[in-house]
Amino acid sequence: MADTSVVLGEGSVDLELDEGLYPRDAIYGAAYVFIDRCYVLLDRVAGGRIKVALRAKRGGAADSAALAGELQNELLAQAWRRAIAEENRALIEQVTTRALAGAAGPPGLDELLAMDIGEATAFEDPLGIAMSWEEKYAKKKAAPQVDDPPDAQGDPPPEKGS
Amino acid sequence: MIELRFHGELYDGFAIDEAAKVYGPFGVIDLAREGDAFVARVTVGAAARDQGVDEATLAAELANYALGKTIELRGAGGGHGGAP
């Protein structure tokens, strides 16, 4: 049996499809596209096949051959679109998750309060936020040398205890 | 009277119920479950017939509504913008 069979009537089309070839969602999607200009009826027929019956509404397109062609094109497009979406599902989910996480902004007070802060991590300050300005930016003193050299005027260093 | 048979695998029962409610004012719509199928028996009302509504159109519109609602409930719309 052919995968697809078409019966053309006067302003109507009966198309029988193999569900293995066109997923059901693709058939629904294609039917939905025609629902504004045709009366559409789906039915299950023997051998795992689905029948799509289109009948043009009054004043709608009455060229049944064109209607059949459009329906077949739409079925193919829907099936292909779903295959692409399925292939890229992981990527789409990843991008969406990143976008949502970025849109959420910095943590609020509730999130900060909910953070697990234990004794081991409570006093860690890797960014030096808790340091005073002087501690953080003061010029470092030169390390004292073992033998104190005389100062610039050549005076000896003061004696200890004087 | 026109009898419509909607296959239970392809149509959503809630969608058919809703279609019957929407088109109920135009006639009498009896719903029944027979095996795998939802059956709708459509008879146009006198008032609707006087307004030019024929039974075949009423039945076809009901079937379209049921299909459209089924597709929307299953989230399988095509995304082409061709739907009503």
Per mean pLDDT, which range of A65-79, A148-162, B11-25 is the poorest?
A: A148-162
- Please tell me which of the candidates B5, B79, B84 has its beta carbon nearest to residue A35: B84
Q: Above 70 in pLDDT, residue B14? A: yes
- The residue range of the domain holding A9 is 4-90
Report if residue A140 sits inside a domain.
Answer: no
- Domain spans in chain B, listed from the N-terminal domain onward: 2-75
Q: How far apart, in Å, are the Cα atoms of A43 and each of A28, A53, A115?
A: 12, 8, 56
Q: Is A30 on the interface with B (CB under 8 A)?
A: yes
pLDDT digit string, tens, across residues A72-91: 999 999 999 999 988 998 89
Give the CATH architecture of domain B2-75. 2-Layer Sandwich (3.30)
Q: What is the pLDDT of residue A3?
A: 76
DSSP, res B25? G
Q: What is the pLDDT of residue A153?
A: 53
Q: Above 80 in pLDDT, residue B17? A: yes
- Please tell me which of the candidates A40, A50, A81 has its beta carbon nearest to residue B67: A40
Report if residue A61 sits inside a domain.
Answer: yes
Side chain identity at residue A136, one-letter code:
K
State the complex-level ipTM: 0.86
Mean pLDDT for A39-56 is 92
Q: What is the pLDDT of residue A123?
A: 72
Q: Above 60 in pLDDT, residue A160? A: no
Q: What is the pLDDT of residue A148?
A: 56
pLDDT digit string, tens, across residues A22-46: 999 999 999 999 999 999 999 999 8
Helix, strand and coil percent figures for chain B, each rounded to 5: 45, 25, 25
Query: Which of residues B84 and A125 earns the better pLDDT score?
Result: A125
Side chain identity at residue B55, one-letter code:
E
The whole-angstrom distance between A102's CA and the closest CA on chain B is 27
* pLDDT band, very low/low/confident/very high, at A97 (cuts 50, 70, 90): confident
Per mean pLDDT, which range of A38-47, A114-123, A139-148, B1-10 is the poorest?
A: A139-148
Domains in chain A, number: 1
Q: How far is CA B3 from the centre of its chain?
A: 11
* pLDDT band, very low/low/confident/very high, at B82 (cuts 50, 70, 90): very low
* pLDDT band, very low/low/confident/very high, at A158 (cuts 50, 70, 90): low
Report if residue A59 sits inside a domain.
Answer: yes
Report if residue A143 sits inside a domain.
Answer: no
Query: Which of residues A97 and B67 earns the better pLDDT score?
Result: B67
For position A10, which CATH number holds?
3.30.70.60
B interface test, pick of A25, A32, A82 with most B CB neighbours within 10 Å: A32
Q: Above 80 in pLDDT, residue A159? A: no
- Please tell me which of the candidates B7, B63, B78 has its beta carbon nearest to residue A29: B78
Q: What is the pLDDT of residue A157?
A: 54
Q: Which of A44, A60, A133, A29 is nearest to B70 (CA)?
A: A29
Residue carrying structure tokens 């069979």: A5
Q: Which of A110, A38, A107, A74 is nearest to B67 (CA)?
A: A38
* pLDDT band, very low/low/confident/very high, at A161 (cuts 50, 70, 90): very low
Percentage of chain A modeled with pLDDT above 70: 81
Cα-trace Rg, chain A? 39
> What predicted TM-score, i.e. pTM, was given to this entire model?
0.68
